[in-house]
Structure 1
Amino acid sequence: MRWPTVARMRMRGRAVARMLVRGRAVARPVAAVLSGAVVALALPPVDFVPAILGYTPFLLLLDAADGARRPVLARAVLGAAFGFGYHLAGLWWVGAAFLVDADTFGALLPLAVVGLPLLLAPLHALAAVAMGLAPPSPAWRVVGLAVALAATEWLRGVVLTGFPWNAAGLQLTGSSVALQGAAVVGLNGLSFVAVLLGASPVALIARGSRWLALPVVAVVVALAAYGSARLARAPSIDATQPRVRVVQPSVPQAHKWDPAESAAIWRRLLDLTASPTGDGAAVDVVIWPETAFPFIYRTPSVEQLDLAAALGGGAMLLAGAVELEATADGRRATNSLILVGSDGAPLARYDKNHLVPFGEYLPLKGVLSAIGLRQITEAVAAFDAGTDRQPIDIPGLAPALPLICYEVIFPHPEIADARWIVNVTNDAWFGDTPGPRQHLRHAQVRAVEDGLPVVRAANNGISAVIDPEGRFVGRLALDAVGVIDTGLPAPRSTLYRRLGDAPLFGLILVAAGAGAAAAARRRRGAMKG
């Protein structure tokens, strides 16, 4: 076999670039959509990390926009097209939720599948426009794209209610070694690395820009060395650490609120809670998933006696529940996590702060109703958001940071006193799709960023106990019925937990300053010439 020489590779790269530059106006956005879809292959569950090379044709397309009559508009269109392709390929599974009650929501499935990517695409358009501010050399365009996308991915987690799902940094987390980088720079910092690596071939095949090879190699080496060392130093679980039991009842979403199924669901939860451990060791706390109770839990009641018997007089329970309270205006409903003592009596409660738009509350409800979408306004659950999130103090255990459902995809500054994270969720809405796998990966990232173990109870999966290195101490397959019994891993200190995204902002400022200096030198050289 005859391997291509560097010269041949460079010639082929230039040929591809010429093809993209000469492409028609319609063909370029289509190519951008396809580039975004290719990059999405690096996301869970495919985890094909080399797919990040899809950033290379995207950058070539953006460079080609310099020759357009309106280059800023051309870059914005290409950026939006790339973002649409990326999110369509990565988030198509949201449509599965509309099939649970197909008679009511089925007709809206295409709108949801296409609408969410369209809603997110403008941020990629913003990144594409911002990239145009970088000096015109290929190397600086690579750096500019990496900085711009890292910044807009951070912005995506903040704008409106925030939605940082599938941020670019997640594309590297299929490698357990690369995942450890989140302990230093967080997921948004990994976004910069993913785009830098994925777009770097543009600079490596261009004369005058190969200086970028050294920084790229340095980033790869540093990431590999740090990740390997952090994994090697991971502490093991010892017998003296608290023991947790994660319960996965796997209740079909169509049965979850059916009164005829309530008794069977309750019995399954109790039986799983009371089942003996494999080694006979006692359990300190049992975790049930989001909205696990098939009714409004009240005490005193027969259900309290049932629960106390299942807990066996020693363990406590952390369980998802719907809570109702009377108010002056009617009633207040919350998606909550309650701590229940061994006698079945509630001890503490956390109300979900970060509600899911269109799932737990409805933005622009009056507008949607006025334009004829009354079936949506009547069917969407109306929860009230909690106003505070503090670690839950559990007698005999370390404080736990409560996160319900997709709250785990957001960084949390209020974790100073927490020693572990409890994440309860119900992913049954999305069936056997990439959705539950991507949600689980976000929980792994959070464990590494914060250096805290994550105990995750999901109704139908994927339940897991995750150590601060993002590894599974225990895990249940999707749709399995069962429990996880394990010790609680010890926390670890991380730079990201102390500094947050400050290193990312520093990197953006340094790159912007260096780019501005390079542009100034280029202008001075042109003037002298």
Structure 2
Amino acid sequence: MERLADKVILVWGFRRMLLAVFAGAFGVLALPPIGFFAAMFVSFTLLVWLIDGSAAAPNSNPIGRLWPSFVIGWLFGFGYFVGGLWWLGHALMIDAEEFAWALPLAIFGLPALLAIFYGLATALARIFWSDGIGRIAALAASFGLLEWARSVVFTGFPWNAIGYAMTPVPLMMQSAHVIGIMGITALAVFVFSAPALLGTRQGAKLGVPLAALIFAAHLGYGAYTLYGPSTPTQKADDKSPVVRLVQPMIEQTAKMDSDGDRAAIFEKHLKLSAEPPKDGGKKPDIIVWPETSIPFILTDNQDALTRIADTLDDNQILLAGAVRVEDMGPGNPPRYYNSIYMIDGRGQIIGAADKVHLVPFGEYMPFESILNEFGIQNIVEMPGGFSSAANRQLLTLPSGLKLYPLVCYEIIFPDEMTGDIGSAAAILNITNDAWFGATPGPYQHFQQARVRAVETGLPLIRDGNSGISALVDAKGRVIAGLALNETGFIDATLDGSAFSSSSTYARQRYFWLIEILLFVIATGSRFGFVFKQN
């Protein structure tokens, strides 16, 4: 181990750059669909040793002294994000004639930008760098801080935060209920980096047992939560609603084809909704269709509402993804919203929830007037793009059941689980991951949705056009579901018996406390106040 550490620390030039990219890319094995979390031990051990060997030129200015560490972190991040996000290019190939030119930007450009956060993390860590345990504390604190920044800067994109590598199964998800995914991220980097101490013979006597203790506490809390005594807040009974998830598996090319058979698409949803329950079970109380499942403006099509009424029983409720249009008056263009409609058994729209957090370049165009001059437009063709809702509104069903609505990637933002979520009985997440085909993207999206359920302590109702559709309990366990690219439906009873709801603000407080403690350890080690070891 010591000989390997010396080789990595001393490697130079192109081989050093290549090793940094490899270290980041290897960590992708920890993400879905593989979920081999131990890969991160290799990635971060190599990263620590590479930073150990990041020497600046003599007499460099402050920025120059940090630059080699920034470059190592950026290369590490570039490998991680290319390996973890290459599938975004699949969406551009749906309409290759129009968007194939942007493929390099999706596969390499976005990772290059996201890698800046990791470069800043390693540069910040270098300020507090020392020989022992302090350096892995500095790296953990810096990654925690910059991963949080990645979730908020320029509307945020916290996809594949490092903490998700530590949550491949429900046993390893439960800590998120207390400290959130960002808290897990900071502690995960500490744990993943600990083997580096064995290779440099400094700080291992304290750092490795401490990392082992953190990991054991992570597993122990998960085991206690899943298998120990618990106080359910709500149990499924005969009055608990049965939810049907409809997964029609409509090809994205068919959804985008202006000359396509929109009536056939609509009828496929209706047919799956009208199917009798399997094994003679109870009829569903709630039927869920995925994002933008209604292939036309519903309020302009009374016949479609009539067909829905003919399909539903009087006491059934349909929750369907649709484009909602709002007339802004004479002389003003209408506004379009990516929405969820609530429709009763008489075909009446009795509620709606609009998407708040839109996808840049997908649902709206930043700096639209400038970029349009260069012929750059949204992937989703909508005049003027979508508009975002001013705030998130709960969907309250006639039964009184309240759902917290999230459309597509809104569910990846942990800090947005606020507002009235404490009064919700479940999270409702509809999506259309058909854009990404049979790539790792839908699997990664599903894992992040499950972690949101654990964080908030709420069951998750998740429906996707191509999957993965599932009813997930508040501990992240799949109650029932449909596999990726499977066509069909699944009925399951909504069961809220898990955690009491958890406050986003409480998780944020614990995250910042973890950050402070890690920076205290790093500072004390750096300046010799504490943890100084030979």
TM-score scaled to structure 1, two decimals? 0.92
| Matched residue SS, 1:290 | coil
Distance 1:148 1:422 in 2: 33
1:417-465 Cα distance to aligned partner (Å, 9 max, x none): 1110100100111000001101100110101000111101101111111
Taking a change above 3 Å as real, the CA distance of residues 326 and 51 of structure 1, as seen in their structure-2 partners, is: same
Matched, 1:216 2:223: no
Matched, 1:34 2:31: no
| Matched residue SS, 2:72 | helix
Q: Is the 8 Å Cα contact of residues 85 and 107 (structure 2) preserved in structure 1?
A: yes
Matches of residues 95-134 of structure 1 in structure 2 within 5 Å?
A: 95-134=89-128
Matches of residues 22-101 of structure 1 in structure 2 within 5 Å?
A: 22-53=10-41, 54-66=43-55, 68-69=57-58, 70-101=64-95
Taking a change above 3 Å as real, the CA distance of residues 377 and 308 of structure 1, as seen in their structure-2 partners, is: closer
Distance 2:311 2:429 in 1: 22
Question: How far off its partner does 1:380 sit?
Answer: 4.7
Question: How far off its partner does 1:189 sit?
Answer: 1.2
Aligned to 1:252: 251
Aligned to 1:346: 349
What residue identity is the alignment partner of 2:103?
A: L
| Matched residue SS, 1:109 | helix
Matched, 1:227 2:222: yes
Question: How far off its partner does 1:14 sit?
Answer: 2.1
Aligned to 1:8: none
Aligned to 2:61: none
1:68-118 Cα distance to aligned partner (Å, 9 max, x none): 544300001111111110000000000000110111112221221111101
Q: Is the 8 Å Cα contact of residues 293 and 320 (structure 1) preserved in structure 2?
A: yes
Identity %: 36
Matched, 1:416 2:422: yes
Q: Is the 8 Å Cα contact of residues 134 and 521 (structure 2) preserved in structure 1?
A: no
What residue identity is the alignment partner of 1:38?
A: F
1:46-66 Cα distance to aligned partner (Å, 9 max, x none): 111110111001110011114
Distance 1:525 1:397 in 2: 59
Task: Identify the match of residue 364 of structure 2 among 361, 364, 384.
Answer: 361
What residue identity is the alignment partner of 1:507?
A: I
Q: Is the 8 Å Cα contact of residues 138 and 202 (structure 1) preserved in structure 2?
A: no
Question: How far off its partner does 1:175 sit?
Answer: 3.0
Q: Is the 8 Å Cα contact of residues 248 and 480 (structure 1) preserved in structure 2?
A: yes
Aligned to 1:276: 276
Matched, 1:15 2:16: no
1:310-347 Cα distance to aligned partner (Å, 9 max, x none): 11222011110001122142111111111111111111
Matched, 1:437 2:443: yes
Q: Is the 8 Å Cα contact of residues 182 and 496 (structure 1) preserved in structure 2?
A: no
| Matched residue SS, 1:387 | coil
Distance 2:287 2:489 in 1: 10
Structure 1 gaps, min length 5: 1-12
Aligned to 1:465: 471
| Matched residue SS, 1:26 | helix
Task: Identify the match of residue 475 of structure 1 among 475, 478, 481.
Answer: 481
Q: Is the 8 Å Cα contact of residues 454 and 475 (structure 2) preserved in structure 1?
A: yes
What residue identity is the alignment partner of 1:55?
A: F
Taking a change above 3 Å as real, the CA distance of residues 343 and 145 of structure 1, as seen in their structure-2 partners, is: same
Higher mean C-alpha displacement, 40-49 vs 135-144: 135-144
| Matched residue SS, 1:228 | helix
What residue identity is the alignment partner of 1:439?
A: H
Task: Identify the match of residue 515 of structure 2 among 481, 496, 508.
Answer: 508
Aligned to 1:9: none
Q: Is the 8 Å Cα contact of residues 104 and 375 (structure 1) preserved in structure 2?
A: no
Aligned to 1:6: none
Q: Is the 8 Å Cα contact of residues 185 and 504 (structure 1) preserved in structure 2?
A: yes
Taking a change above 3 Å as real, the CA distance of residues 459 and 495 of structure 1, as seen in their structure-2 partners, is: closer
Aligned to 2:491: 485
Taking a change above 3 Å as real, the CA distance of residues 137 and 83 of structure 1, as seen in their structure-2 partners, is: same
Distance 1:468 1:312 in 2: 29
Distance 1:377 1:223 in 2: 42
Q: Is the 8 Å Cα contact of residues 299 and 345 (structure 1) preserved in structure 2?
A: no
TM-score scaled to structure 2, two decimals? 0.92
1:189-226 Cα distance to aligned partner (Å, 9 max, x none): 11123211211011234434121123212112211111
Q: Is the 8 Å Cα contact of residues 52 and 197 (structure 1) preserved in structure 2?
A: no
Taking a change above 3 Å as real, the CA distance of residues 216 and 242 of structure 1, as seen in their structure-2 partners, is: same
What residue identity is the alignment partner of 1:266?
A: F
Distance 2:185 2:434 in 1: 29
Distance 1:141 1:168 in 2: 18
Distance 1:327 1:495 in 2: 39
What residue identity is the alignment partner of 1:401?
A: Y
Q: Is the 8 Å Cα contact of residues 457 and 502 (structure 2) preserved in structure 1?
A: no
Distance 2:28 2:343 in 1: 42
Matched, 1:406 2:409: yes
Question: How far off its partner does 1:256 sit?
Answer: 1.0
Distance 2:369 2:161 in 1: 32
Higher mean C-alpha displacement, 433-442 vs 258-267: 258-267
Question: How far off its partner does 1:244 sit?
Answer: 0.8
Taking a change above 3 Å as real, the CA distance of residues 312 and 192 of structure 1, as seen in their structure-2 partners, is: same
What residue identity is the alignment partner of 1:232?
A: Y
What residue identity is the alignment partner of 1:334?
A: Y
Matches of residues 287-366 of structure 1 in structure 2 within 5 Å?
A: 287-298=288-299, 301-328=302-329, 329-366=332-369
Matched, 1:454 2:460: yes
Distance 1:110 1:193 in 2: 34
Aligned to 1:4: none
Distance 1:168 1:100 in 2: 30
1:334-379 Cα distance to aligned partner (Å, 9 max, x none): 1111111111111111111100011001112233233x3x053696
Q: Is the 8 Å Cα contact of residues 242 and 285 (structure 2) preserved in structure 1?
A: yes
Q: Is the 8 Å Cα contact of residues 451 and 497 (structure 1) preserved in structure 2?
A: no
The number of aligned residues is 512
